Structure 1
Amino acid sequence: MPEHEQGQRRTPPTGWAAQAGVFLAVAFVAAGMAGALQPATGIPPEVVQLTQLGPAVAVAAVALLWPYRTRDRLAGILPGRTGTGTGTRSGAGPRRAAALLLTPVLLIALCACGGLLTSGSLPVTSPRALAHPLALLVAAQFIGACAEEIGWRCYLQPLLRTRFGPITASAAVGLLWGLWHVPVLTQEPAFAAGFLLATTAMSVILGLALEGVRSNRLLLAGGFHTLINLGMLYVTDESAARTAPMLFLGAAALAAALPWIATARRAAHEVTPDSITVATAPGAR
């Protein structure tokens, strides 16, 4: 046996695929049922879309089946080679948190500039043009965003990180997150492609920003998501399902993700391989 393989043994199965499968199945079904019930509730979709509750319901479902593993994933704990949890920073740090929450502002600003260049006018909707107070919209959007993010970034992202690197796991979550928005896929192909590019790139930003963070994960992810949703509501006019603004959002998200990826790659080269490997841990759950 080669020297570098001595003392290593095969990682026991973690059941991550089964957990991810149950989560996704419940998230899709619960979102579909919630969307079908929304007209009966009288809650306007621009206030909050009940489909956003799907991932939260899915987390509750997997928690019933795998309570301890779900607890660890929600806490951001990743198994390490020594059996101790990795990713134990208490928070994202002021700079990283500020960078994360400023990114949506940058993305929406780029979308507005794109609209200005192509149409000659800023595609901005006045808060007074909507029938509901701004404070209500912000609060409802934040609640809806957190209902999504507790599933995507607080559960599924750490789950996939037990098997894949941060960029791969983040991109996979982003693609699944985009496909979960089933009605988007019924739009023209260019619109759907722009949307999937946006969700994948934004998921990479979120995944890398929250890498190793165990506190405030939900608040940071929910805040990012809320700012994006409000920007789409007031600037890109998501209700119109226009292709150009969505393509601008996808391109802007990709451009914003590149510095995060470059920073993560530089950081990875500055640490030893053992400190960033989570998938080969003996006794990993």
Structure 2
Amino acid sequence: MSAIVRFVLLAFILSYGLAFLAMAAHPPLGQTRWVNHIAVLGPALAAFWMVYREGVSIASWLRERAGHVRWWWLLVPLAALGLAALLGAPVDPVEFLIALSIQTAFIALPEEIGWRGWLADRMLTRYRPIVAGLATGLIWGIWHGPKVVMLPGLLLLAVALSVILVLAYARHGGGIGLAALAHGSINAAIGQAAVMAPEAERALFDLYALVIAGLAILALLWKRPWFVTRPATAG
């Protein structure tokens, strides 16, 4: 069994195992968003286990993939929120900043440590970046489980956003930091629609996913030479 398959299986088992254990220990958790904060630990824990098994220091592994902070990172949350506003979501800057902090630190970061920091990073050593982006996104989308049924646009969003995040992570030196910020920004921006009627919220989510898919296509066209580069020179 390849390391990639082992990681994916472990991430799924840990995420759903931890969530079900938490709900078994305290059933009301299943009715709250707190269970998500438990489930998202799966990808990060799986990554840490794989790194540990390879005899590498987890701290040094994280430092190598943390990314180099740039001033233009500040534009990422602004762009995510601006897009939500253009699509009709009611915007509250204060609520957005609070949600951004929570989503980035407690949801996006543990996910990105696993999905981009380990899985996409490992795939980039074996496959072309376009394959790494699409495959990681597909796995990431399926990992959301029942949410994909409730939000059909989620799978499209995961695949499209993964292409963009792999580009930011590997090509532009953003590492896990930029990937987590972008991921958290989009989660927080879409979350602004939570006060809307359920049908309107789902419609906005699907529209947001379509726009991100369009941006992913533009990124593929803009950076086509990099996306199709062979693994030996893909980093």
- With the shorter chain as reference, the TM-score category is 0.7 to 0.9
Structure 1 match to 2:13: 29
The runs of at least 4 consecutive aligned structure 1 residues that moved more than 4 Å come to 41-44, 69-77, 90-93, 125-128, 236-242, 266-269
Pick the aligned partner of 2:41 from 53, 56, 68.
53
TM-score, normalising length from structure 2? 0.77
Instruction: Determine the C-alpha separation between the residues in 2 that align with 1:18 and 1:168.
Output: 17
1:1-285 equivalences in 2 (<5 Å): 18-36=2-20, 37=22, 40=26, 44-45=32-33, 49-68=37-56, 94=70, 98=72, 102-103=75-76, 105-115=78-88, 123-124=89-90, 126=92, 135=98, 137-144=99-106, 145-187=108-150, 191-192=151-152, 194-212=153-171, 217-235=175-193, 240=198, 242-266=201-225, 276=233
Instruction: With a CA cutoff of 8 Å and minimum separation of 6, indicate the structure with the bigger relative contact order.
Output: 1
Q: Is the 8 A contact 1:20 1:159 kept in 2?
A: yes
Instruction: Determine the C-alpha separation between the residues in 1 that align with 2:59 and 2:79.
Output: 34
- Percent identical: 26
Distance 1:247 1:134, change over 3 A: closer
Q: CA deviation at 1:149?
A: 0.6
Q: Is the 8 A contact 2:48 2:58 kept in 1?
A: no
Higher mean alpha-carbon deviation, 153-162 vs 250-259, is at 250-259
Unaligned runs of 5+ in 1: 1-16, 78-89, 116-122, 279-285
Please, what is the CA RMSD of the aligned residues?
3.9
The CA deviation string for residues 17-59 of structure 1, in whole angstroms up to 9 with x for no partner, is 6211121111111111232315839775179622111111111
What's the secondary structure of 2:190's corresponding residue? helix
- Higher helix proportion (structure 1 or 2): 2
Structure 2 match to 1:84: none
Unaligned runs of 5+ in 2: none
Matched AA of 2:26: A
What's the secondary structure of 2:47's corresponding residue? helix
What's the secondary structure of 2:33's corresponding residue? coil
Instruction: Determine the C-alpha separation between the residues in 1 that align with 2:102 and 2:234.
Output: 38
Instruction: Determine the C-alpha separation between the residues in 2 that align with 1:67 and 1:238.
Output: 49
Distance 1:204 1:223, change over 3 A: same
Instruction: Determine the C-alpha separation between the residues in 1 that align with 2:123 and 2:43.
Output: 15
What's the secondary structure of 1:67's corresponding residue? coil
Q: CA deviation at 1:200?
A: 0.8
Q: Is the 8 A contact 2:193 2:204 kept in 1?
A: no
Q: CA deviation at 1:103?
A: 4.8
Instruction: Determine the C-alpha separation between the residues in 2 that align with 1:238 and 1:30.
Output: 33
Matched AA of 1:54: G
Q: Is the 8 A contact 2:124 2:132 kept in 1?
A: yes
Instruction: Determine the C-alpha separation between the residues in 1 that align with 2:193 and 2:227.
Output: 37
Aligned length: 229
Instruction: Determine the C-alpha separation between the residues in 2 that align with 1:156 and 1:61.
Output: 13
Higher mean alpha-carbon deviation, 205-214 vs 48-57, is at 205-214
Distance 1:166 1:148, change over 3 A: same
TM-score, normalising length from structure 1? 0.65
